[in-house]
């Protein structure tokens, strides 16, 4: 098949977007390598003794309430028989490249979101009579046949709805939201399905009597901005199924960072400050390959406390030094004033010379 490069300037209401998400990817690769692990609770993550966290887990493990970002120790409490493996990132990258090679057969307009997730724009594709649904089906079939990995897909007119759809029938699902179905689908959509709506935002929305997008539509733009600031405008748009973002084949790095989880909690601010030098040395080494082309615009410190709450503090500065990082660390630590399990430091980076400033990416 010959892929056709779509027109990224196509109006939103004529776009055909596919969101593809591999099912429990790291665990799926491990189960291919070790078929005897298929039907037992399995997770890929760090050692419980070293304060590790779960990267991903298979569906038998999820039945015990285990999920990504959970501490490995907690996962083992929920499921003592859990098979916990450290993983093989080199192998995961090999399989991911095979999967993305399949995607490239159908379009050149691909936006990788992570190692196992991507958006595809097939708006102008002539393949399979231009049917985004049939293209998604063909991709899923080819990936399964060639790698053994199952991929869930969502098909819609924009990135927001395509992502929601890909999660709708997991695992190994295909959900299509046609233009005729869109208004009704969005109205019934729980607000917790909106990207960026975490537990705290959901709790705040519930306090406003909002549990679905239909109820969210009843709030004015000004009301949402008053309650949620800049994110309020985004909520107003997504509640109506509106998302004008294009599928972008290139995302400029906007930050560089490093972080460390400690095997024993750092008990106080002084012990946190003692870790700054090592963190800054690692950060400087990571920044070295960007030094010639990217200017430092700001500094950020991240603190995660022993109750798993976290906070960040940042400032604008083109001249990083330990005193500034120490000041930010002190500011962040005093917000929780309790033992610390993780520290991170980072730089905000400016655009490359001659290029417009790109979309901001998360630092950590």
Query: Rounded CA gap, 30 and 258, in Å?
Result: 27
CB 143 within 8 A of CB 135: no
**One CATH from 1.10.150.20, 3.40.50.300, 3.30.420.10, 3.40.190.10 for 183-238:** 1.10.150.20
Averaged over successive runs of 10 residues, the pLDDT of the chain (364 residues) comes to 41 80 96 95 87 89 92 93 92 95 95 92 92 96 97 96 94 94 94 87 92 94 91 93 89 82 91 92 86 83 91 86 89 93 91 46 44
**One CATH from 3.30.70.270, 3.40.1260.10, 3.90.1150.10, 3.40.630.30 for 1-177:** 3.30.70.270
Burial class for 184, CB neighbours closer than 10 Å (0-12, 13-18, 19+)? exposed
| Ranges for all domains in the chain classified under CATH 3.30.1490.100 | 255-349
| Ranges for all domains in the chain classified under CATH 1.10.150.20 | 183-238
- Is residue 277 annotated as involved in ligand binding? no
| Ranges for all domains in the chain classified under CATH 3.30.70.270 | 1-177
- Is residue 21 annotated as involved in ligand binding? yes
Q: Domain spanning 255-349: which superfamily? A: DNA polymerase, Y-family, little finger domain (3.30.1490.100)
Going by C-alpha positions, the residue among 14, 24, 1, 3 that lies closest to residue 110 is 3
E-assigned strand segments in the chain: 17-22, 42-45, 54-57, 83-85, 110-114, 117-121, 151-156, 174-176, 255-266, 296-305, 310-316, 340-349
Helix 322-336 with 276-287: angle, nearest 10 deg: 120
- Predicted confidence at residue 355, as pLDDT, reads 43
Whether pTM exceeds 0.85: no
Q: Which residues are catalytic?
A: 117
């Amino acid at each position: 098949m010959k892929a056709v490069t779509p027109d990224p300037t196509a109006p939103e209401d004529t776009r055909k977007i596919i969101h593809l998400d591999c099912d429990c990817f790291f665990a799926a690769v491990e189960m291919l390598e070790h078929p005897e692990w298929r039907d037992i609770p399995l997770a890929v993550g760090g050692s419980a003794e070293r304060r590790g966290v779960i990267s991903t887990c298979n569906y038998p493990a999820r039945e015990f309430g285990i999920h990504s970002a959970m501490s490995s120790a907690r996962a083992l409490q929920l499921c003592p028989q859990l098979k916990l493996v450290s993983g093989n990132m080199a192998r995961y990258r090999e399989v991911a490249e095979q999967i993305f090679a399949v995607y490239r057969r159908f379009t050149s307009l691909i936006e990788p979101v992570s190692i196992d997730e991507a958006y595809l724009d097939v708006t102008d594709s002539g393949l399979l009579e231009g049917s985004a649904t049939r293209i998604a089906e063909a991709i899923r079939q080819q990936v399964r046949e060639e790698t053994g990995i199952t991929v869930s897909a969502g098909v819609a007119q924009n990135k927001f709805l395509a992502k929601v759809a890909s999660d709708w029938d997991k695992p190994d699902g295909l959900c299509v939201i046609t233009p005729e179905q869109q208004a009704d689908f969005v109205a019934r959509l729980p607000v917790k399905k909106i990207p960026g709506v975490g537990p705290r935002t959901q709790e705040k929305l519930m306090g406003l009597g909002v549990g679905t997008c239909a109820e969210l539509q009843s709030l004015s733009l000004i009301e949402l901005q008053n309650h949620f600031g800049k994110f309020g405008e985004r909520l107003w748009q997504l509640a109506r199924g509106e998302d004008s973002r294009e599928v972008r084949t290139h995302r400029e790095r906007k930050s560089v960072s490093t972080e460390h989880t400690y095997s024993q909690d750092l008990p106080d601010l002084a012990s946190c400050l003692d870790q700054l030098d090592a963190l800054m040395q690692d950060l400087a080494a990571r920044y070295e390959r960007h030094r010639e082309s990217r200017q430092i615009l700001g500094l950020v410190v991240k603190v995660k406390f022993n109750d798993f709450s976290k906070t960040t503090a940042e400032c604008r500065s083109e001249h990083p030094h330990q005193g500034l990082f120490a000041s930010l660390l002190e500011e962040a630590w005093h917000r929780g004033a309790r033992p610390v399990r993780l520290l991170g430091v980072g730089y905000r980076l400016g655009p490359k010379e001659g290029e417009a400033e790109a979309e901001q990416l998360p630092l950590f």
